Amino acid sequence: MSGICRARLAEERKQWRKDHPFGFYAKPTKASDGSMNLLEWEVGIPGKATTAWEGGVYKLMMTFPEDYPSKPPKCKFNPPLFHPNVYPSGTVCLSILDEEKSWKPAITIKQVLLGIQELLNDPNVNDPAQSDAYTMFKSVETFASPCVGFDSKLVKTYPSEAACRVYLVSWFVFCSISLTQFTL
């Protein structure tokens, strides 16, 4: 590992230990000889409050290249998440992790992890990594913002609120089942 890479990661670790967002954790792994491996970090990202991700801590590995911070780390959820911006392998698709897009050497581990937390609840539909998750997200997004007149048509078809709820829940369950034919 280059001196620049080692110094930067050691400084990042020091800063993280002093000040990191509540509920997050990030620490270098141990090498086979028991020493600290600064090139590979175990990370936990909490789900943001008031979102579908709330209550969970989502584990990932951050792997830093020898020429970090010139090149970005790779971030991979383990186990992989079903999400429009997470490849089936678990690798995160985020512009600040792509040197061809928005990566800058000044970006910190803290900024990367906060960006991933934000991405969980607010996917980037312009850069999907997992087609089934993208399709499901777009279906739910479309349903959440229905066309003009949808409400009145629904009320005419299902005059009681209870009947309308049954319809909406069964529609969502149908979409969920038909779009998630994959093995965990």
What residues act catalytically?
Answer: 93
CA dist 167 → 42, 173, 174 (Å) = 43, 10, 10
46: part of which helix (H) or strand (E)? strand 36-46
DSSP β-ladder status, 74-77 and 36-46: unpaired
175-182, Cβ contacts within 8 angstroms, sequence gap of 24 or more: 175/136, 175/139, 175/140, 176/136, 179/132, 179/135, 179/136, 179/139, 180/82, 180/132, 180/136, 181/132, 182/82, 182/132
Best CA proximity match to 60, nearest among 109, 98, 96? 109
In degrees and rounded to multiples of 5, residue 39 shows phi and psi of -85, -10
Degrees to nearest 5, angle at CA 96 with 95 and 100: 65
Amino acid in the structure at residue 146:
P
Q: Among residues 90, 95, 64, 47, which one has the least CA distance to residue 2?
A: 64
